[in-house]
Structure 1
């Protein structure tokens, strides 16, 4: 019998390595496309997706998370969920197409209309894909998910670069999104062993809607927090400044999504299975937070310190306006990285409703803080973004602990210690190193090298930091066996799979 801890470690190892590949692909595409396209090209697509992508959240309706989190799920329930997601996706596609004139009116430019129509039908494809991907995640088939992500990412990037090279302009970015959605859906269907049958009225999926409704509300509010800044900048300043902001924001999201999204696929099923074992659950939470503390927080701190040479090297001197925006956003990225743990806590214990209540109060405040920076342009909005996420990290972790009945004091202590000892000093040293020399490559290399040297020195002098670093290396690179869960939580076969009820 394979222990759940070992499966989690193996899944984390597979997922991390796949994300390293995806990170390289995305960073390469950012670099190449920035030299083939203009800020206007990126900005005009960002105008559209900032509004229409809300349909992507509605299309899911929280049902993918509900399927993964459920302790039991039979074939008939999964089939009904498939048809519901497909139906919602179709409705979203129609709504998006009919809303094209409204998007044109909001921004005052007709160029966005055809882009809305070109992307609208993808919501149908995503609706079809929802439960196939949820089944792969629920069955802990991390290798299949990694193959899908890498293949789809590589194919979409190749399509975008090819279109940009022949002068397609912003249609290259549209083509990238279309290719990504299609390849992801096809790959998930091929790799998933499950196939839907005919919908059955006698089988109720009401319990999934109760859970999914809370997730949907939470995600909608979260989406507003993450995208109203784009809409505000687009309306206030136009596609050019929004293009700069969107490049900085995407550079922020590359490491964030490459770590948080796949780790959610690993951590959420594992935490959901040990949710009734308080001691094991708390131990796994501390282990899971290490990733955000030691990887994301440090990466964003160092990236903020070397933002000027980093942006110049990746995008070229014509994109220099991105550097101060990215530096401000990266500081907030530190708290977005370590704050993911509260999201996992809510969903793994089935407390999506409690998370929604928090979002209803906290997220509007965050939006106000972000928009308050609009008079100072994209940089002001980015500063508001970081202030908002810092405050939200504190409130959300405290509230999550109360909601799921778990002490968050160890998590706060772990995070604060890491920030003060590891991340903030590493970022400051990277900034000083980048200021010492003027050539861009040398400035970037020196800043990063000095920060890495500091991290190595701390890990050598501090036993707790050395132990944590060794744990990270062994789990995520050598796939070390994590502390085992109790036997009742372990899957019943070497190939990780959830026991499925069949009619």
Structure 2
């Protein structure tokens, strides 16, 4: 948020192109091997060493590929700075195995408090460095160095703190069962990341760095809003569903409940953000990003659709159907790419509509896939979502009502956001209670004064 006010859209757009390409490649570097350690009923030091060995092979190979592609990418986009940005970001590939494996072991043992402390410390170091370098006049170089310091600080922490069963010497035996899960898992994450990065890469070649920055800011704002909540619960989801499966519980019931509770958080927030995108973007990033507001309003609907079956990957993995994870992500992605290419000549809002269309396809296709493969009861599933839809409508209605009372265009953004913050949470919680949403009871039970005796 601070950086967006200090750098120009053109500066941020230059870094966004390089970051988009490298971050897509980063999804392959770990080969999703951590999923193997979480899903296995029992793990041994030998299994950890084999997982580390496979991760080293893939991650270091990808690091070399990033270095080798630096100059070709700089020539392709006609931006000489991209080569050096690639070189800086490639360092993270060579330390990634010694971050991902201990993080996975912490997740398997449900040590989320330790994970949070490590992630929080690395984020603070990264953010402080980025802001300090921007203020010192290092332009987009500060973004590259700051992004590198995030994994680098995590690596240094794990050099001092060793989770239970962590091994530092790799083994290159018995890699096949790990690779089977890892390949599907990594390609799934690759496509999921590429979906968000595709506009930066396509617009970066067909248009200007300013257009890249504007669309990236609109999409990035929605990703920030949704992923702030999702990333808080996703590390728990797969271990939770895997545990339900190991203990013989009802996996589909657990999936439906997890989906409804996530939607109860994410969807109303996105609904409010779609209507109040202008004052919110002005508050966080400044008025130089006004053109990103209508893009965020459209993309928010795509994010709502995507959240409906966000845990489908975890459900398919928990059911032993890793092969279908890739299909679930691939279909919407391969529809999105040609739509972006066709839409960009008509403007950035047309590109945003392309996202909306693929979001609808995502919901329909994933619903049918889960019904056919896992036996998910779609009538029960979507009936469970009625409360979420009602909560969305009530929160959006409240936001729209405020827009009729005060002008979102002329009123200071801090005033608008404050008005929404003082009213919509009560509307949200009240609607959850009326429809007896499971999240309401979790919140009620978490407050000491409202717990049932």
Give the conservation status (yes or no) of the 8 Å contact 1:432–1:447.
Answer: no
Match of 1:180 in 2: 150
Match of 1:195 in 2: 166
Q: How does 1:283-322 map to 2 (within 5 A)?
A: 283-322=253-292
Give the conservation status (yes or no) of the 8 Å contact 2:332–2:358.
Answer: no
Match of 2:416 in 1: 443
Question: 2:262 & 2:8 partners in 1: Cα distance?
Answer: 33
Match of 1:464 in 2: 436
Match of 1:363 in 2: 333
Match of 2:427 among 425, 448, 454: 454
Give the conservation status (yes or no) of the 8 Å contact 1:433–1:450.
Answer: no
Give the conservation status (yes or no) of the 8 Å contact 2:191–2:333.
Answer: yes
Give the conservation status (yes or no) of the 8 Å contact 1:430–1:448.
Answer: no
The answer for unaligned runs of 5 or more in structure 2 is none
Question: 1:148 & 1:242 partners in 2: Cα distance?
Answer: 32
Question: 1:354 & 1:111 partners in 2: Cα distance?
Answer: 39
* 1:256 partnered with 2:226: yes
Question: 1:292 & 1:335 partners in 2: Cα distance?
Answer: 12
Question: 1:402 & 1:111 partners in 2: Cα distance?
Answer: 49
Match of 2:242 in 1: 272
Match of 1:143 among 107, 113, 116: 113
* C-alpha displacement of 1:450: 4.5
* 1:239 partnered with 2:181: no
Give the conservation status (yes or no) of the 8 Å contact 1:88–1:127.
Answer: no
**So what's the TM-score if we normalise by structure 2?**
0.91
Match of 1:26 in 2: none
Which structure has more relative contact order (CA 8 Å, sep 6+)? It is: 1
Match of 2:384 in 1: 414
* C-alpha displacement of 1:61: 0.8
Match of 1:41 in 2: 11
Question: 1:184 & 1:315 partners in 2: Cα distance?
Answer: 28
* C-alpha displacement of 1:452: 3.4
Give the conservation status (yes or no) of the 8 Å contact 1:306–1:448.
Answer: no
Match of 1:64 among 20, 25, 34: 34
Q: How has the CA–CA distance of structure 1 residues 437 and 262 changed in structure 2, closer, same or farther, with 3 Å as cutoff? A: closer
DSSP 3-state at the match of 1:121: helix
Q: How has the CA–CA distance of structure 1 residues 122 and 463 changed in structure 2, closer, same or farther, with 3 Å as cutoff? A: closer
**So what's the TM-score if we normalise by structure 1?**
0.82
Please, what is the CA RMSD of the aligned residues?
2.3
Question: 1:473 & 1:180 partners in 2: Cα distance?
Answer: 36
Question: 1:141 & 1:415 partners in 2: Cα distance?
Answer: 31
Q: How does 1:60-139 map to 2 (within 5 A)?
A: 60-139=30-109
Question: 1:140 & 1:268 partners in 2: Cα distance?
Answer: 11
Q: How does 1:317-332 map to 2 (within 5 A)?
A: 317-332=287-302
Of 246-255 and 169-178, deviating more is 246-255
* C-alpha displacement of 1:280: 3.1
The answer for unaligned runs of 5 or more in structure 1 is 1-29, 482-503
DSSP 3-state at the match of 1:195: coil
DSSP 3-state at the match of 1:103: helix
DSSP 3-state at the match of 1:320: helix
DSSP 3-state at the match of 1:340: coil
Question: 2:188 & 2:116 partners in 1: Cα distance?
Answer: 27
Match of 1:208 in 2: 178
Question: 1:197 & 1:315 partners in 2: Cα distance?
Answer: 42
